[in-house]
Chain A
Amino acid sequence: MTKEYAFYPGCSSQLKASASNYLASVDSMCRTLDIKLTPIPDWNCCGASISYAGSGEIARHALNARNFALAEKHLPGQDIVATCAACWLNARETQERLAEDHVLMRDTRAALKEAGLDYGGETPVKHMVEVLIEDFGYDALAAPVVKPIEGLRFAGYVGCQTNRPFGIAGESFENPLYLDRLVETVGAEPVAEYDQKVACCGGALAFSEPEKSQMQIRAIVESAYDHGADMIVTPCPLCQANVEIYQEEINRRQGTKFAMPVVYYSQLMTIAYGGDAKDAGLDGQMIRAPRLEEIAAAPASPRRGI
């Protein structure tokens, strides 16, 4: 049966934006899993993690509450799902703060009223990973695999905001295991000893404090090499962009020779489900992932062992 969600794609997932390849693979993955994503009509930016100085408290929460209000109005009864870590975090934070602070709730609703909207606050907001794990489960995710991604080792880079402060239920903040389990689900091998799993890539400070952030990114890539990973996999669009884009800058400045592909969990799942390189958004990699492209181009082998 089709599962329907109110979809909050976020700015980076839009056409020709920095995570458009993430969206391509999510769309393909959802087709296989029979998930119907209906974008929240006229959704707006969550403010990411950097807006605070400009936004203050109320405006930030009001804009996040606007997305809830629009979802509740146009797509009632559907859980909201976000693919971006920051979108998900900000939406959840707003929901939590408004629930515990009645003054903030009053002010936020007063602001929303200016646009003829109201906030109910009852709609759950989930990260796509939560939908996969909680609404489907690893067995259901493994069922459609027609092309196991065998022979490749992935460093599961969970990063910060899909992991803290909310995280995925039942996982630890220091060593979450869900990404490794998703890697196993598609037939690949997770690098269990990858020690930068929950390190910070610098986030928005990759722009404003590039040298400091690039020290973080260097460690994240270096550890993947040191532990024999073929690629890094991540659930976060900013982790993906920072860790992929700045490798060349680090090479230029520090004489390293990094060329470590950084892909999304949804790209692995799309390929394992039989999608081609375009379905998986592999044409959107700055550092191409030829070994994944090869698997994507190969015919699906009959499933073994079942």
Chain B
Amino acid sequence: MSAAAPKPAPYGNDFLREVEERVEGGDWVRMCMQCGVCAGSCPLGPHWEHSPQKIFMMIRAGKRDEVLRSDSMWMCTSCYNCIVRCPRKLPITTIIHGLATYAHRQGLAPRVQPTRDFSLQFWGNSTRTGRVNEMKLTIGLYFRDGLVAGVKKGWSMRNAALGLLRAKRLNPLELLRGHECEDKAGIQRILAKAYELEDARRGKPVA
């Protein structure tokens, strides 16, 4: 007889409780009945490892690291198919965004994750002046992977960019100054307070 099989990890619902307390929409997770309609409704279904259905079961099984390090939440296009089809009416899109956000705040989200980068860039871009600066957003995305990659990407998309310029739907002058809100200071004060309250509720972001 060989040594005894390793003892199975004790079943615990600490992670479920953590999700319920700290993740936006997390208190809905235990309502999932594992029917899989969400998995079959996702337009990016072929591209992710864990469907929402699986993620919800992994949460209940306490797989904290696997869930929060998963790439899958970042594949959400916000199409809301899963929400309208869920027979238990779980706000799945909200939960998936909430889990992605929580993973990011915990410092566990994949290091290289283009949708996470875009999310952070978009939020930074839009809150700097209260309105999106599309020109800076586009340029920022092109040069995300450095100068050479940016020039290459810009070159490959040059006709699209020129077409938008010709159609007056992209304004290079926005690099100097784009559309802005007047009460930028008020917006920053709103944000500071909101972040403070968010940290109190969910814990300070790691790193």
Contacts and interface: CB of A to CB of B under 8 A. Distances in A.
Contacts of B43: 199-200, 202, 216
A12 B137 CA distance: 12
B193 to A, nearest CB: 4
A199 B179 CA distance: 32
Interface in B24-57: 24, 43-44, 47
Interface stretch (B1-9, B10-18, B60-68, B127-135): B127-135
A246 B197 contact: no
Interface residues of A, number: 67
Contacts of A249: 156-157, 160
B59 interface: no
Given A15-B179, A45-B131, A203-B78, 10 more contacts: A14-B131, A45-B132, A48-B132, A66-B187, A114-B190, A160-B81, A164-B83, A202-B77, A212-B47, A284-B168
Interface string A91-120: 000000000000000011011111111000
A224 B157 CA distance: 24
Contacts of A117: 186
Interface of A: 11-12, 14-21, 42-45, 47-59, 62-63, 66, 107-108, 110-117, 160-161, 164-165, 167, 173, 199-200, 202-205, 207-209, 212-213, 216, 245-246, 248-249, 252, 283-286
B77 A19 contact: no
B79 A200 contact: yes
Contacts of A203: 77-79
B192 A11 contact: no
A16 B81 CA distance: 32
B72 interface: no
A284 B169 contact: yes
Interface of B: 24, 43-44, 47, 75, 77-81, 83-85, 91, 93, 97-98, 100-101, 104-105, 109, 114-120, 122-124, 126-127, 130-132, 134, 141, 156-157, 159-160, 163-164, 166-171, 174, 179, 181-183, 186-187, 189-195, 197-198, 201-202
Contact of A112 (B78, B97, B190, B192): B190
Given A16-B171, A18-B169, A205 B187 contact: no
Nearest to B195: A59
Given A16-B168, A107-B197, A245-B163, A54 B120 contact: yes
Contacts, number: 221
A17 B135 CA distance: 9
Contact of A44 (B44, B105, B187): B187
Contacts of A54: 119-120, 122-124
Give me the 9 closest cross-chain CB pairs, A-B, nearest first.
A54-B123, A115-B186, A49-B78, A164-B80, A59-B194, A200-B79, A16-B171, A114-B189, A11-B132
A285 B166 CA distance: 9
A58 to B, nearest CB: 4
Given A56-B101, A58-B197, A285 B167 contact: yes
A168 B49 CA distance: 33
A84 B169 CA distance: 16
Contacts of A116: 186
Contact of B197 (A110, A115, A200): A110
A159 to B, nearest CB: 8
Contacts of A284: 167-169
B164 A286 contact: yes
A142 B35 CA distance: 45
Contacts of A48: 122, 126, 132
A55 B123 contact: yes
B156 to A, nearest CB: 8
